[in-house]
Each structure stands twice: as C-alpha cells, then as structure tokens.
Amino acid sequence: MSGLYRKWIDRINEAWMFVFLLLIIILPFILAAGLYLKSYLIISENHLSDLLFTDIWKPAENKFGFAPFIISSVWVSLSTLVLAVPVCLLSSIYITQYARSSVLKLMQPVIDILAGIPSVIYGVWGVLMIVPFSVKAAEWFGIHTTGYNIFSGALVLLVMIIPFILNILIEIFRIIPEELSEASLSLGATKWETIKFVLLRKALPGIVSAFGLGLSRAFGETIAVLMVVGNVIKIPHNIFDAGYPLPALIANNYGEMLSIPKYDSALMFAALILLAVILVFNFASRVLIMRLERYA
C-alpha cells in the first residue's frame, strides 16, 4: 500500500517537475513571440530599414526612426567594453596567476557585493561622482558638457559589468590545464611569457565570450545608464555627447505610450531589437564557452 502511494507521489512529482522545466524552456520563445505580436503593427506599416536607419523620432507625427537610439546604445556599450577589457584581463590574470590565494578570498566578496548592488544605486553613485568627474574629464579636451553623457554612462556600466566579466574570466583561467603552463615554464619561458603565449592563447575563445556576455549585459542595462547618459534624441558624435540608448527609450516613455497611437508598438519593437541583439551575443558566447569546457 505504502509502496504504491510512494510510487504515485513519485509519478506526480516527476510530471510536475517536467511541466515546470518545459515552461522555462519555452519562456524565451514566448518572450520573443509576445514582443513580436505587439510590435507587429509598426513593423507591418514601416519598412524595417526605415525603422532601423532613419533618425527622425516624432511619435506624434507617426515618424519612428530608431537610429539615434541604436547608435547611442552601440556607443555606450562599445566604450564600456574598451574600458573593461584591460581592467578585467589584468585583474583576472593577477588573481589567478600571480596573487596568493588570500587575494582571491578577499576579492570574491568584493566581486559578489559589486554584482549584487542594484542598478539604481549605481545610477545614484553615477550622479554623485561620475557626472562631476565627466565634466572635468571633458574640460581636459576643451569640451564643455553637463556631465550627463556617454562617457559617464560607460564609466558607470564599467563598474557594473566588471564583477560579471571577472567571474567568468576567473572560471575560464581555472579550466585551462595547468600542465600546459608547466610545460612552457620547464622550457625556460618566464611566467609572463607563459601567460602571454600559452594561457591567453589557450583561453582566447573564453576571453572573447566573457567580453561578449559583458557587452550584451551593457547593452541591456537600463536604469543606471538612463540616470547619467543625458537622454537627448540625437546621433552622438563623440564620447562627451549625450546619448539616448534603447533601454532608456523604453523606460522613459512608458507613461505616455498609451496616449499616442502606435507608440506602444514602437517601444515594444525597441524591446524586440534589444532581445534579438542580446540573444545573438549570448548564444555565440555561450557556444564558445561550452566548446572550451569540453575541450579543456
């Protein structure tokens, strides 16, 4: 009796677990389908190339050109990446190759806490410290800004994505077999040469994908960037221009999107672009990492 009972519990539980698993697996498809259905109105009435490559944004006059937002997004995330690459690489090499293990013990909580700080707090910090700094930095180049510009956005994002990238890099350097480094060292190479020619080369796919994931994280970050980036609808020309990235566009206009026809559809289209770009980046990076893990 009790055996039968236990068996049934097991069956029901397995079905239950399986249903939830399916739910999670189809979630990204539902996400994409939902956003697509909602943005169908605007995609069907305008050419895709018009939407993506024109720069006139007047929702009230039915003109939706996403170029300023897309280009701002690219500016912000690429400048973040340029700043993040040296810092993350150097620091992760130091932590995994040179430093004593106590340094990792010390840095792990630092990384965890940095990763856990909500983006709105980063935004507040950006307003407090990065924006004034950005004004000064622009002055060195003889440019006057309010401080609310792409440079500020990139600096705030830099600190936000560092813990994320660093975690992946540390993991990647760990799965590179130690024998490779030992072989190189035994042939008389110095530690630094070994890192340069063996470790970095071996880990290259992993490093690329870590930064790919970081880039897509930067691409989708909303509130912190929105608070410091200026939000002016215009194609930025240098790093001290104000920008208006896609997530900021969505977040800033949710209030009025139901009062102008097709506005909500346009904003959902913006979310769809974000989702598409991020899925592509994530997909490529994860595939690279999986290959590396299997290989190592």
Partner 1 sequence: MPDMIKKAEEIFFRILMIISTVAIAAALLLILFSILYKGLPSLSWEMISQTPKGGFYFGKEGGILNAIIGSLYLSICSTILALIIGLPVAMYMNVFLIRHKKSLNLIRFFLDILWGIPSIVYGAFGFVIMIYFGLKTSLLAGIITVTLFIIPIMVRSMDEVIKTVPSGLLESALSLGSTKTEISYKVFLRQCIPGIVTAILLSFGRAIGDAASVLFTTGYTDSIPESLSDPAATLPLAIFFQLGSPIEEVRQRAFASAAILTFIILLISIVARLLSTKFNRNKIKF
Nearest to residue 172, comparing CAs of 62, 97, 82?
97
Among 67, 125, 205, 235, binds partner 1 (CB under 8 A): 125
288 binds partner 1 (CB under 8 A): no
Contact (Cβ atoms closer than 8 angstroms) between residue 241 and residue 180: no
Closest separation in Å from C-beta 238 to partner 1: 25
In the complex with partner 1, the residue whose CB is nearer, 121 or 238, is 121
Residue 133's Cβ-count burial label (10 Å; 0-12, 13-18, 19+) is: middle
Number of residues forming the site for partner 1 (CB under 8 A)? 87
**Residue 138 or 155: which CB sits closer to partner 1?**
155
Asked if 82 touches partner 1 (CB under 8 A), the answer is no
Task: Report the alpha-carbon distance of residue 88 to residue 81 in Å, rounded.
Answer: 10
Identified binder of partner 1 from the candidate list 69, 122, 244, 263, rule CB under 8 A: 122
Q: What would you report as the CA-atom Rg of the chain, rounded to the nearest whole angstrom?
A: 23
Residue 180: how many CB atoms within 10 A of its CB? 15
In terms of Cα–Cα distance, which of 18, 170, 144 is closest to 88?
A: 170
Structure tokens at 26: 């189809």
Q: Is 110 in the site for partner 1 (CB under 8 A)?
A: yes
Tokens of 261: 């026809």
Rounded to 5°, the CA angle 271-277-280 comes to 135
We find the least distance from the C-beta atom of residue 124 to partner 1, in angstroms, to be 4
Is 58 in a helix, a strand, or coil?
Answer: strand
Are 35 and 278 contacting, i.e. CB atoms less than 8 angstroms apart? no
- Residue 99 as a binder of partner 1 (CB under 8 A): the answer is yes
Q: Which of 123, 153, 206, 230 binds partner 1 (CB under 8 A)?
A: 123
Residue 141 is a binding residue for partner 1 (CB under 8 A): no
Does 172 bind partner 1 (CB under 8 A)? Our answer is no
- Is 16 strand, coil or helix? helix
- What are the tokens at 150? 């792409």
Q: Residue 190 is encoded by which pair of tokens?
A: 């110095």
Q: For the CB of residue 87, give the shortest distance to partner 1 in the complex, in Å.
A: 5
Query: Is there binding between residue 295 and partner 1 (CB under 8 A)?
Result: no
- Helix (H) or strand (E) segment spanning residue 63: strand 63-64
Q: How far apart are CA 139 and CA 142, in angstroms?
A: 5
Question: 61 or 187: whose CB is closer to partner 1?
Answer: 187
Residue 131 tokens read as 């924006």
Q: Which amino acid is at 137?
A: A
Q: Give, as ranges, the residues between 199 and 258 that touch partner 1 (CB under 8 A).
A: 213, 216-217, 219-223, 227, 247, 250-251, 254
Binding to partner 1 by CB under 8 A, coded x per residue (else -) over 44-73, reads: ------------------------------
Determine, following the binding rule CB under 8 A, whether residue 278 of this chain makes contact with partner 1. yes
Cβ of residue 237: shortest distance to partner 1, in angstroms? 26
Choices 33-41, 53-61, 66-74, 144-152 (CB under 8 A): range interacting with partner 1? 33-41
Contact window for partner 1 (CB under 8 A) among 7-15, 45-53, 135-143, 146-154: 7-15
